[in-house]
Amino acid sequence: MAQVILKNLTKVFDNFTAVKNFSARVEDGKFITLLGPSGCGKTTTLRMIAGFIEPTVGEIIIGKEIVYRSKEFFVPPENRNIGMVFQSYAVWPHMNLLDNVSYPLKIRKVSRKERYAKATQVLEMVELVGVGQRYPHQLSGGEQQRVALARALIVDPYVMLLDEPLSNLDAKLREQMRFEIKEL
């Protein structure tokens, strides 16, 4: 994983300031949490790091590369090599698990054989062995979350962003997933 530096990050939507002058430095290999009340800008900050939302001003550095600098420079999300697990998991219901997990490689034009081999490997990593042909509706919430995590891991990301990854889980599974995420 790579170092992430945020400098004076601000995002304004119309007349609403969602994030104001936020700066942080996360060292390579470290795990941090953004904590705050609903509506304070946690998800907006993650989406800016990922490149899904362009900041109003500020600077984002991932590793040694500037990926955003106040309207001067913007690296699109597909070129940032970031894995993101959304709060809603964003698991596509019309795709089986192999297709869900391997999709980031498909858009990078990786061959089907290589995509499926890598997808099988990361599904095993998140303890979903032999379920590649299943569909999301056949899984529990915790299993769907692990599919989303596998999809984020398949590209060997420099940075992993998790947006409230445990909020939809029961207490027992939440504790288990805390351990599993830390191990990964």
Structural domains of the chain, with CATH: 4-80 (3.40.50.300), 85-183 (3.40.50.300)
Q: Specify whether the CB–CB gap between 26 and 3 falls below 8 A.
A: yes
d(CA 97, CA 81): 21
Q: Quick: pLDDT tens for 44-60.
A: 999 999 999 999 999 99
Q: Which of 76, 62, 79, 77 is nearest to 26 (CA)?
A: 62
**What CA–CA distance (Å, rounded) separates 175 from 166?**
9
Is this model's pTM higher than 0.85 or not? no
Tens-place pLDDT, residues 133-167: 999 999 988 888 889 889 999 998 989 898 887 77
